[in-house]
Structure 1
């Protein structure tokens, strides 16, 4: 009897919250979805007292109005929060979020989907195994058919991988560096786990500590050189430059700085599917040495276009038309990826946001449960989005 009353109260609270939110389309599960917009007067002008930090989710806000509190409680139980009607079409009614592994370590990064073997490669970054600040010469491989997790080591060992892209049978990785080496760009053969370093300097100057990378359709690299690994003392070297975005020609390995962020920090990076635009996350709100969060610091996603040659019309390694695409609703975007359809997926806080690449509107958020499960990076599979992050979560968001 008591359990039945609890269930009735829970259903009543859900119904109350849903009645105060925009109605979701037919065919979408109301327990997994919420549609939030300022067309709702209750959310456009919140009664009473309310407040939250920019590092918190909207549903974590402190509110005095019981109706808004009920809305937030409902949102905290959902997997998907729509801010724009197009988000329903992007995700689809059959989408679910499933947690596959619970790894009790610090942060997981650098996911790569290997289609030939149906495996997910990723790393534990900055966690146990290397002292207080971390340091690892191993990586993980998850068999997606059996959900079996295995540790692997490359030959030679690869320390502190931070970013990964899979292309033409190889894992293309960047590292923070390790006890005896600075950061570098390398390839790993997943059939043999042989690692080949292909770039470790900019005209004989070391890098700070690489954070992430992406590749364009021509096979060129875009690398973010970040303060993050240096700030965690993952290698014993100094920071020779400000945080910088580099272009590396995939054939000649000729390198060029595209931009640097003297007041912020480089992090996630993504190339549009047509190769014409570049998206860069500035996560300067997370400061290092000393490590602290600065609410006045940047939490922004920037967009750029590539210049073209007047003579040939070919794309040049020059960025133009810099524009602030969006600021993360909560926290900041760590991992950033562009889908085949061009939507930008940014992981940060307790969500993966989907951003319109033209207007910068945030279409909606994919939630991975909160409560310590925080997405840090992501990769697209066949019909899934694979997410790794804090709290040891490895999750997949299945869509139609």
Structure 2
């Protein structure tokens, strides 16, 4: 049982800050446990304020004890809000930055286990080479940490989402200078790209954002304003942000849901019965701005069943599962036990799929380093985002639930 006794933090301005004590065996310089059982955090003395886009530990506070707490959190790799987070992550986990890259959005990570490689991209303006428009991708050798640029055959413009399955990288794109967004597969050995679908009954997509696959090989795609908002292609947005189902055998396509905000990250529960989608409508485009009143929800739906009890591509029981404590969620993935790992702001949050409680956060250092998307291994994960690539290893709970 974890002790609830407070641990004293370094002296700041003559007073001590307090946090809940971490369990034995966990490193105090890597961990913080924050809960409202501590009266100091439940009812903060003095003045305090932050926006919804800022981390809690970046809040402006006047009480030096709270400032000391925030300083400790800023130096931590793991922040627990629930005792279960310690059991998920375990005492041996560490966070290491593998690649230091420009503070440009990096997206679409795919972990290719057989060759120990990580595929990902540098995505979209502003910044970056080619004004953020790319017909190349990155491939990181996880054994040597050697990073190379690659081009598929034919070249693939502006990849935005990726899932690795059955020897192929399944990708979605925003489209490029002369093409709309599409679904494709890439052979990681030959880099041969095959386009599977590029239209909805001869209507172009807006710009695909992310992708998920179920155990039967069917696709779930988010079509968003993100690529359109950054002018990655010359086409107008023909519809609202939409979630699509695509039959993986015959490419038959169906609209599942439409969002007034922006359809972004997407993932399935391990049993395939629940679909989760991150809404990033708080990030507006044309004109580009962040709206603190805009959508930041993570939505959950269940799948309907036929009269014979079979799952069908029809969503029911929509509910708001969670809203990010800071910023909004971009890439989301589920672990083998159904926990949701959600990247956004300065952290990757771990969320309970039933209650929506945030169990804890994995931090990558702040100071502009922002997770955008993730790829899960068995007891490890890779984070890509603004600032580079990070590896979280020696995680206690098994994460990957795909073969």
Equivalent position of 1:119 in the other structure? 117
Q: What are the superposed Cα offsets for residues 225-247 of structure 1, whole Å, 9 maximum, x if unpaired?
A: 00000000000000000000000
Equivalent position of 1:60 in the other structure? 58
User: After alignment, is 377-386 or 72-81 more displaced?
Assistant: 377-386
Measured on the aligned residues, the alpha-carbon RMSD in Å equals: 1.4
Report how far residue 12 of structure 1 moved: 4.2
Distance in 2 (CA, whole Å) between partners of 1:15 and 1:190 is 57
Equivalent position of 1:280 in the other structure? 277
After superposition, the Cα gap between the structure-2 partners of 1:92 and 1:195, relative to the gap in structure 1 and judged at 3 Å, is same
Distance in 1 (CA, whole Å) between partners of 2:36 and 2:50 is 17
Equivalent position of 2:248 in the other structure? 250
Equivalent position of 1:238 in the other structure? 236
Contact 2:305 2:312 in 1 (8 A): yes
Equivalent position of 2:227 in the other structure? 229
After superposition, the Cα gap between the structure-2 partners of 1:373 and 1:249, relative to the gap in structure 1 and judged at 3 Å, is same
3-state DSSP class of the match of 1:116? Answer: helix
Report how far residue 11 of structure 1 moved: 4.7
Contact 1:105 1:124 in 2 (8 A): no
1:397 aligned residue (376, 392, 397): 392
Distance in 2 (CA, whole Å) between partners of 1:267 and 1:159 is 19
After superposition, the Cα gap between the structure-2 partners of 1:377 and 1:173, relative to the gap in structure 1 and judged at 3 Å, is same
Q: What are the superposed Cα offsets for residues 91-124 of structure 1, whole Å, 9 maximum, x if unpaired?
A: 0000100000011251100000000000000000
Equivalent position of 2:128 in the other structure? 128
Equivalent position of 1:139 in the other structure? 137
Distance in 2 (CA, whole Å) between partners of 1:271 and 1:136 is 29
3-state DSSP class of the match of 1:21? Answer: strand
Distance in 2 (CA, whole Å) between partners of 1:381 and 1:101 is 18
Report how far residue 340 of structure 1 moved: 1.0
Equivalent position of 1:6 in the other structure? none
Report how far residue 396 of structure 1 moved: 0.8
Contact 1:135 1:159 in 2 (8 A): yes
Matched residue count: 385
Q: What are the superposed Cα offsets for residues 44-91 of structure 1, whole Å, 9 maximum, x if unpaired?
A: 100110000000000000001010000000000000000000000000
Distance in 2 (CA, whole Å) between partners of 1:16 and 1:110 is 45
Report how far residue 130 of structure 1 moved: 2.3
Equivalent position of 1:93 in the other structure? 91
Q: What are the superposed Cα offsets for residues 243-293 of structure 1, whole Å, 9 maximum, x if unpaired?
A: 00000011111000000012x000000011110000000110000000000
Q: Give ranges in structure 1 of 5+ residues lacking alignment.
A: 1-9
Equivalent position of 1:7 in the other structure? none
Distance in 2 (CA, whole Å) between partners of 1:382 and 1:303 is 25
Q: Give every structure 1 segment of 4 or more consecutive aligned residues whose post-TM-superposition deviation is greater than 4 Å.
A: 10-17
Matched, 1:342 2:334: no
For normalisation by structure 1, the TM-score amounts to 0.94
3-state DSSP class of the match of 1:166? Answer: strand
Spell out the pairing of 1:163-312 with structure 2 (5 A cutoff).
Answer: 163-262=161-260, 264-310=261-307, 312=308
